[in-house]
């Protein structure tokens, strides 16, 4: 189970260079910071919600804006894996709607909280009356570099690391190598 900015961490879970900076665009325009192609490296730990492994892959976010929506088709290793739709309301913030081929009847909305260089995707899961909290935190080192962490908590305050990694932009959206 993982969720990021995008479904694949750092991206969520991993949209225009200036938006990763505190003084960058706000609203839907900020999401352009994720557009482009990224090299993703991830180290998963052995937890009740993750299995120990290391991997790296190429993540491409084909993104566009249309009026009140920002959308991205997310490709991993050349295959389309998720379609993400974002909305923004100045009072409520960002809402995301990740859609995968196996979403079926389990389609859900998520949140994105942007605080300067730190972008967090929080969610919770309730199973058998027990709530577990999760979040993916993307910390922008620069417009082309993101450190990310996936964590879970049983109380929403004390967090256990599930995975961590790094994404480096290797191609800006719309530009050929």
Residues facing 99 on adjacent strands: 83
| Per-residue pLDDT tens digits for 64-111 | 999 999 999 999 999 999 999 999 999 999 999 999 877 666 678 899
**What is the rounded CA–CA span in Å between residue 127 and residue 65?**
36
C-alpha 169: how far from its chain's center? 14
Please give the DSSP secondary-structure letter assigned to residue 23: T
Question: Tens digits of per-residue pLDDT, 39-61?
Answer: 999 999 999 999 999 999 999 99
Phi, psi of 116 (to 5 degrees): 65, -120
């Amino acid at each position: 189970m993982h969720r990021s900015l995008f479904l694949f961490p750092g991206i969520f879970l991993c949209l225009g260079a200036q938006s990763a900076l505190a003084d960058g665009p706000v609203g839907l325009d900020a999401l352009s910071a994720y557009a482009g192609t990224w090299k993703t490296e991830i180290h998963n730990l052995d937890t009740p919600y993750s299995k120990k492994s290391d991997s790296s892959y190429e993540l491409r976010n084909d993104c566009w804006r249309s009026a009140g929506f920002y959308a991205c088709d997310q490709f991993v290793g050349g295959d389309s894996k998720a379609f993400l739709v974002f909305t923004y309301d100045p009072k409520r913030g960002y809402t995301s709607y990740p859609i995968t081929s196996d979403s079926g009847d389990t389609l859900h909305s998520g949140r994105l909280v942007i605080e300067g260089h730190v972008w967090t995707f929080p969610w919770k899961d309730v199973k058998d009356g027990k709530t577990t909290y999760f979040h993916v935190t993307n910390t922008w080192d620069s417009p082309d570099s993101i450190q990310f962490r996936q964590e879970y908590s049983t109380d929403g305050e004390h967090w256990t690391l599930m995975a961590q990694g790094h994404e480096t932009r290797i191609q800006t959206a719309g530009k050929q190598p």
